Amino acid sequence: MARLSAEEKIQPHWWTKSLAGAVLGLTFAFAVVGIFAWYGPGGIQAPNKVQFNMWMISPVWLLILSFSFLFRTGMRAVLILGTANLIAWATFLLLRYTL
Amino acid sequence: MKIRSDILRTYQSIHTWTGITTGLLLFIAFFAGALTMFKSPITHWAVPENHVLPAISVGQYNELVQQATAQYETASNGFTLHFAPHQSPMHHSPMTWYEQGGGRGLSIDSHLRQASFNEEGELVSVANQQNVLGDLIDQLHRTAGIPGKAGHEDIGVLVLGVASALYFIALVSGVIFLLPTLVKSFFSLRQKKGANRFWLDTHNLIGITSLPFHLLIAWTVVVFAFHDMLYGGLSLIYGDEPMFERNGGSKQVYSVAELPPVERYFEAVGNMVDGYDIVSLTFADLATPRARLSIEVAGDGKLQRAAETDIIAMHPFTLDVTYSTLSIPENGAFGPLVKSFFALHFGNFANDTGRWIYFLLGMMGAILFYTGNLLWLEKRRKKQAKQSRSVTIMAKLTIGVCLGSVLGVATSILASKWLYLMGVDINLGYINVYYGVFIASLGFAFWQGAAKSAIALQALIAAFCLGVPLTTLINALFSHNTHWHVAGGTLLVDVMALVFAWIFFAAARKTRQRAYQGEPDSIWFIPSKVHATPGDSVQPKTI
């Protein structure tokens, strides 16, 4: 493995990465679970599915939060997670108001 | 497996910080959680025999209900029927109801009246303060002993929810930075390479072998703590779609005399599902339009939704089912799936075998957090007699909090039978004993330092654990003037207390050896008076 220069290495940026992972990770988890809730197996009315949906939010959120520290900088974490949110929420809203 | 060194360093820092901030809380939660697997036998051990009334056959329950409700005003609105052999030691008698307190959640001043028939077939009844020792251990498990409420939530539950989110991150980061050396040193337990290596190997071995259990516990605890908020968020996604169906039952008012015979409930449950026994029937608000019946059913080796049972809610007079946690078609595919998450936290799916496995996993979890703290301390200590402030404070906290909570629980259990003899408020007694001992232990650790208090507290834990079977023995010898008789079901508690006494006795001896004969440049070293003269050469062992 080639030696990485200082800029190529992971920068600490604890606060921005933690906040990006905690906040944007959670909103992303809600969007993914929202799509699953409405358009996943059984649709929105399957019995007890609301409980399953609630249970699925935290693992998605915590995995994103755990791996947020792999972003090279805090700014990249915000940008990439922000874009992922835009895509996920746009998909959710598009499906909700067109289907 | 090769991982870039900057990633390893990043995740090592994350593991250290998430671990050291949550380890003490999680230690208490895991140690107490392991004990909750046997909260019934523990409560059974504590409760006097004369608080228990004789079991009766299923055919006698109808007569018991009619006679008891006729005689006792307090029973006519609601009561619980407990069926042998599932009679929980926490409410032993065939019929119980609250004369004071009761309801949802933990209440320490509930007065329970119990009723049964004696051998002559006459109605007998006793009223006692309900012993909630098992539930208090459960409360310690869920809150780590942090008191207070925020709204209707326990503050301790919310704190443990946050701690569990950090614990999840600690698990992920721990695995990441262990990966490069995992294959090489996984099953090695190097005892000869110094204490540090031994603690590290123990920590890694436990962490990796029980990783699925730990990931599951971290996830479920976050959900248990924050489900209200998560449902709140989901309601935005559901919009106008209702999240929960409302089942309106009959609104007609009936009288207790119209209750169907209990055999009808057995039939109704038998028609719904196979392989389940009725544990209890709890009737509430019988004389109102909101009359309810909650049935606890236990399945042999089944994943169950509550700690030890599944639940069926039905109308007590019409027998219309309004809700159930059974794996039946009405609950769809998602009901049983969600139920499995609960069951995997509670460890209720494999009877006593499952309970023992969860007990060991819980205790191993406590060891994981304890060794994690020890590693933090060892890593930061300097090769010098005087250690830094942060290290000594963390060492005192680790000893005071961890051993203090173990000692607090051991003392509370031991105190039980003696508190009954003193005639004090039993549940308040438990709480006072636990917090008194916990705070005293913490104070002792800060006063005397980590090394001395570690020896003393472990020795005390051993002594108090030994007191449990001794108390049983004393009671057996003098049972004519006490409330207890030796019962087979509680022998387990005595044997386990003896095992714990031996473990802590051995640990105290080891700690003592290290304190007087181990490395002097350590937080665990106690300089003996003879050797403490300056210039005296105490050769430090090399690690």
CA–CA dist B189, B195 (Å, integer): 11
Is the pLDDT score of B88 beyond 60?
no
CA distance A84 to chain B (A): 18
Nearest to A54, CA basis, from B410, B244, B29, B273:
B244
Question: Is residue B163 assigned to a domain?
Answer: no
Model confidence over B12-22: pLDDT tens digits?
999 999 999 99
Lookup: tokens for A36? 């699953």
B238 touches chain A (CB under 8 A): yes
B169-192 burial: b if 16+ Cβ within 10 Å, else e: bbbbbbbbbbeeeeeeeeeeeeee
In this predicted structure, what is the pLDDT of residue B389? 84
In this predicted structure, what is the pLDDT of residue B352? 87
In this predicted structure, what is the pLDDT of residue B536? 39
Question: Is residue B202 assigned to a domain?
Answer: no
Tens of pLDDT along chain A (99 residues) come to: 566 777 788 888 899 999 999 999 999 999 999 999 999 999 999 999 999 999 999 999 999 999 999 999 999 999 999 999 999 999 999 999 987
Q: What is the pTM of this model?
A: 0.92
**CB contact residues (below 8 A), chain A span 58-77, against chain B:** 58-59, 62-63, 65-67, 69-70
Model confidence over B442-483: pLDDT tens digits?
999 999 999 999 999 999 999 999 999 998 888 777 766 555
Greatest mean pLDDT range, A28-32, B36-40, B100-104, B475-479: A28-32
Model confidence over B229-264: pLDDT tens digits?
999 999 999 998 888 876 666 788 898 888 999 999
pLDDT mean over B513-518: 85
Helix (H) or strand (E) holding B379: helix B351-380
Per-residue pLDDT band for B217 (boundaries 50, 70, 90) equals very high
Dihedral angle sign, alpha carbons of residues B94, B95, B100, B102:
positive
B122 touches chain A (CB under 8 A): no
How many domains does one find in chain B? Answer: 1
Mark yes or no for CB contact B172/A67 under 8 Å. Answer: yes
Model confidence over B522-539: pLDDT tens digits?
778 887 754 444 443 444
Lookup: tokens for A48? 């007890």
Question: Is residue B430 assigned to a domain?
Answer: yes
pLDDT mean over B484-492: 64
In this predicted structure, what is the pLDDT of residue B535? 40
Residues of A in contact with B337 (CB under 8 A): 52
**CB contact residues (below 8 A), chain A span 29-58, against chain B:** 30, 33-34, 37-38, 41-42, 44-55, 57-58
A62, B168 Cβ separation under 8 angstroms? yes
Per-residue pLDDT band for B109 (boundaries 50, 70, 90) equals confident
Per-residue pLDDT band for B541 (boundaries 50, 70, 90) equals very low
| 3-class state of residue B492 by DSSP | helix
Q: Which residues contact B293 (CB under 8 A, 6 or more apart)?
A: B265, B281, B282, B283, B284, B313, B314, B315, B316
Q: CA end-to-end span of chain A, whole Å? A: 49
B538, B531 Cβ separation under 8 angstroms? yes
Q: Which residues contact B524 (CB under 8 A, 6 or more apart)?
A: B450, B451, B454, B511, B514, B515, B518
B165 touches chain A (CB under 8 A): yes
pLDDT mean over B402-417: 95
Range of B417's domain? Answer: 384-543
In this predicted structure, what is the pLDDT of residue B497? 96
In this predicted structure, what is the pLDDT of residue B378? 83
Question: Is residue B309 assigned to a domain?
Answer: no
Name the residue ranges covered by the structural domains of chain A. Answer: 26-98
Residues of A in contact with B165 (CB under 8 A): 58, 62, 65
Question: Is residue B412 assigned to a domain?
Answer: yes
Please indicate whether residue B130 or residue B393 has the higher confidence score (pLDDT).
B393
Question: Is residue B501 assigned to a domain?
Answer: yes
Question: Is residue B182 assigned to a domain?
Answer: no
B23, B369 Cβ separation under 8 angstroms? yes
B485, B476 Cβ separation under 8 angstroms? yes
Model confidence over A12-21: pLDDT tens digits?
889 999 999 9
Determine which of A51, A53, A64, A95 to mutate to test the interface with B (most B C-beta atoms within 10 Å): A51
Among B245, B330, B334, whose Cβ lies nearest the Cβ of A51? B334
Is the pLDDT score of B39 beyond 80?
yes
Determine which of B9, B173, B230, B330 to mutate to test the interface with A (most A C-beta atoms within 10 Å): B230
Among B6, B223, B331, whose Cβ lies nearest the Cβ of A4? B6
Question: Is residue B281 assigned to a domain?
Answer: no
CA atoms within 13 A on the CB side of B464: 22
Helix (H) or strand (E) holding B115: strand B111-117
Helix (H) or strand (E) holding B405: helix B404-422
